[in-house]
Amino acid sequence: MPTNARLTASWSTLVPVASTVAWSSGNMSGAAAVKLWVNEKAYYDYSSNSCAAGKQCGHYTQVVWKNTIRVGCAKVRCNNGGTFISCNYDPPGNYVGRRPY
């Protein structure tokens, strides 16, 4: 696991937040990372409060979680030219059985 990912993981065990993480082999903007997460909306079904089979939508539901009031994000450019972006959400969301909004 990259050093930055270890730091994010260790921080989130100390502080009750949820995280979304994006990685790219090249440069990526914060807006592009958020767009990746929000694009998962296509796989989320509100009526059943579930993701389409074989798809991820947990990043989307965290981004739009109704009770989250604070968001903090960081971007790191790696020595290999890649980009690591992480956002933390407080209070966290994605509780089993609860809808995001």
Domains of the chain: 3-90 (3.40.33.10)
Is 70 exceeded by the pLDDT of residue 14? no
This prediction's pTM: 0.81
Q: What is the pLDDT of residue 16?
A: 78
Percentage, residues of the chain above pLDDT 90: 83
Q: Report which of 32, 13, 20 is spatially closest to residue 86, judged by C-alpha positions.
A: 20
Cβ-Cβ contacts under 8 Å for 70 (sequence gap 6 or more)? 89, 90
Tokens read off for 48: 């059943």
Cα 5-64-85 angle, rounded to 5 deg: 25
Residues 9-31: what's their mean pLDDT? Answer: 84
Q: What is the pLDDT of residue 34?
A: 98
Cβ-Cβ contacts under 8 Å for 47 (sequence gap 6 or more)? none
Residues 21-26: what's their mean pLDDT? Answer: 97
